[in-house]
């Protein structure tokens, strides 16, 4: 489960930011988890709860936003939304898609004390 190591990375990022900014506690952690990121949101949330134990992020709410996958179809040239890698273009059925969004995994905001 690579989500646990990703969650540990998020906690490390929070701790580094706390050293820089001097906050003592985190109430909410906002994270973008793109639909094409290969990250299972439920597993990331479980891993975060475990990784945050004993840290200033313990008990923090993990707020996940799931942007859709987007791509440009090389067959018809349209910008399309895709749910999973390997899906065809919903317009023309081509599998030649260039992913343009939905791969992100990024902490966007911290609600701190």
Quote the pTM value.
Answer: 0.87
Helices (H) and strands (E) in the chain, counts: 2, 6
Q: pLDDT digits over 31-87, tens only?
A: 999 999 999 999 999 999 999 999 999 999 999 999 999 999 999 999 999 999 999
Distance CA(40)–CA(74), nearest Å, equals 28
97-106: average pLDDT: 96
Structure tokens, 65: 């936003």
Q: pLDDT digits over 14-30, tens only?
A: 999 999 999 999 999 99
Cα dihedral across residues 5, 10, 11, 16: positive or negative: positive
CATH code assigned to 2-112: 3.30.2320.80
Distances in Å between the Cα of 109 and the Cα atoms of 60, 67, 98 are 12, 16, 29
pLDDT on residue 1: 58
pLDDT on residue 58: 97
């Amino acid at each position: 489960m690579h989500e646990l190591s990703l969650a540990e990375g998020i906690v490390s990022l929070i701790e580094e930011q706390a050293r820089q900014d001097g906050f003592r506690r985190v109430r909410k952690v906002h994270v973008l988890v793109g639909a094409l990121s290969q990250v299972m949101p439920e597993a990331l949330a479980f891993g975060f709860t475990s990784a945050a134990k004993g840290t200033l992020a313990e008990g923090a709410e993990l707020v996940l936003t799931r942007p859709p996958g987007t791509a440009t179809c090389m067959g018809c040239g349209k910008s399309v939304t895709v749910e999973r890698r390997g899906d065809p273009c919903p317009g023309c059925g081509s599998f030649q898609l260039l992913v343009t969004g939905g791969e992100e995994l990024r902490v966007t905001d911290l609600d701190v004390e």
